[in-house]
Amino acid sequence: MTRDCDVIVIGSGPAGVSAAFPLTESGLQVLMIDRGKLPDVEPPESDFLSARRHDTGQWKWMVGRDFQAMKMRDAVSPKLRVPSLAYSFDGFGSGNKIKGENFITVGSLATGGLSNAWGCGVARFSSAELAEFPCSVSDMEHSYEVVSRRIGISGNTYDDLSEYFGLDGYAQSPIPMDLLHTQLAQRYSNKRIKLHSQGFRLGRSRVAALSEDISTRKACNLSGNCLWGCRRRSLYSAADDLPRLRQYENFSELPGFLVDGVTRGSRVWRVEGQDIYGVRRSIGAKVLILAAGTLATTRLVLRALKYEHAVPVLSSPTAAFLLWLPSLFATQRLPGFGLGQLSFVLALSTATAFGSTFSTTGIPVSEFARHLPWRRRYGIDILRGLLGACVVGNLFLPGHLTAGEARLNKDGALVVSGTFREAVVPLMKEAAQKLRQSYRRLGALLLPGSFTVGLPGGDVHYAGTVPMRTQPRIGESSPLGEIAGLEGVHVVDGACLPILSEKPHTLTIMANADRIGRKVAELQGRGVC
């Protein structure tokens, strides 16, 4: 047994820390519980290209002792195959009893959660999108600002996506672009009116990466190590927020604890689980904040409710592609920022698509070769000459286009399954054609066979399993994320989002968690400024 507290936060990821700040600042006794896995592979010490030339131990972070680079071949994102990020995903499915059936299920037991391995893309939901939330838009806007200033966002510039992202009022200046993206941006400025008429808009990516120092985190130095691990902590991880939370005497942590259930005690909620030694423990609190990640949180909720029906899972259909700029053929690859540099919004017949383009520096050649219509041996030879003049892109569609569901099986495991809705195939074909036409106007060719649609769940943008409603039914949550039938249990991660747009959704999860944390503090009689 462990001493009871006012609030238990389950999970140390972006949602968990965002709820913990206002709750802790209000003076409540807050305990954060997390499995707390830590990295076991050091990222490169020098910039990526120098490390590839001179680091004799690069196999450790390029391939991995257990050949991590050869796993998760079905996933579009290469980060699921990076050895230095493996700890972020390791043991999630077995530890939380989560299984996928024709659906990729990804989560994290690491300190900081999936923010150790995300693409750092950020956006604010529009007023129309927030109208789907059963809460005050002004409350969300306040929380967007609080969270954005805390984590550090770059990309502040007036362009055709300023309104779409909605973050320039509290963002740092953009991180410098490489030569290829600079050329794309320049050509777009000359052809933007024509491209607008075709439904294509381009602008700087807004990312949770620093162009200016914040506390002990340093500005990006363009090393190209974004995929492999940033020693400067320029890329935001929720783990970076924990030192600040630890400064509060009323905040405490219990790492190494894996939660497998929550039950109602006589006066408090009990969190049940086991520590790293396999010892069972039970901890009580008046209020529980579930921030274990959408899938893990969903399992805890369904078990507590003894809910036997399937719940919906929102997930964004995604694709990846490769663009070649012939005018820059034979350009030498140089160190640079490895995440989104330019982003686009594409109007399709029945949906809107969003995506970003990235430098190929810092991404293994093999990641591209496996998608091209040539034998890999020849593909690698061809790509070695092309990649210096290439950028890689991704694309996301709204989450309602995946027909996903999750339910508990007889063993208490959460089984997640799903397929894309019929509209996805024609929408992806339309998107590929429009991207090909639009980028051709910018002097970039979409390489044949490179446009690759991912499998359901491969986006790792899960949401909507226990959506917030004004009048929630069993299996839904209130405007404060409180589960109908589980008074005092609040969901603050993606599980409670009522919609999943094509935009990056992590910042919205964090803002909503901050909002809920403030409201819960008020209900407990401890207001937060």
Closest CA to 364 of 18, 29, 83, 42: 83
Beta bridge partners of 121: 207
The dotted CATH code for 2-523 is: 3.50.50.60
The Cα 196–Cα 1 span in angstroms is: 62
Tokens of 40: 């076991």
Inter-CA distances, 219 with 121, 227, 236, Å: 17, 16, 11
At 1 the pLDDT is 44
The Cα 283–Cα 332 span in angstroms is: 57
Closest CA to 368 of 379, 377, 378: 379
Q: Digits of tens for pLDDT over the chain (529 positions)? A: 456 789 999 999 999 999 999 999 999 999 999 998 888 888 888 888 887 788 787 777 777 777 766 666 655 567 777 877 888 888 999 999 999 999 999 999 999 999 999 999 999 999 999 999 999 999 999 999 999 999 999 999 999 999 999 999 999 999 999 999 999 999 999 999 999 999 999 999 999 999 999 999 999 999 988 988 899 999 999 999 999 999 999 999 999 999 999 998 878 999 999 988 888 999 999 999 999 999 999 999 999 999 999 999 999 999 999 999 999 887 777 789 999 999 999 999 999 999 999 998 877 666 665 555 555 555 566 666 688 899 999 999 999 999 999 999 999 999 999 999 999 999 999 999 999 999 999 999 999 889 999 999 999 999 999 999 999 999 999 999 999 999 999 999 999 999 999 999 999 999 999 999 999 999 987 655 4
At 4 the pLDDT is 74
Name the phi and psi angles at 487, rounded to 5: -60, 130
Taking the CA atoms of 176, 181, 187 and 193 in sequence, report the sign of the dihedral they define: negative
What pLDDT digit, counting tens, does each position of 452-479 carry?
A: 999 999 999 999 999 999 999 999 999 9
The Cα 246–Cα 259 span in angstroms is: 21
Cβ proximity of 99 and 415 under 8 Å: yes
At 66 the pLDDT is 73
Q: At a CB cut-off of 8 Å and minimum separation 6, what does 444 contact?
A: 184, 323, 324, 325, 391
At 45 the pLDDT is 81
Stated as kind and residue range, the H or E segment containing 139 is helix 137-151
The 10 Å Cβ neighbour count of residue 378 is 11
At 511 the pLDDT is 98
Compute the 3-state secondary structure of the chain and give helix, strand, coil in percent, each to the nearest 5: 35, 25, 45
At 38 the pLDDT is 87
Q: Residue ranges per domain, the chain?
A: 2-523
Return the DSSP state at 88: H
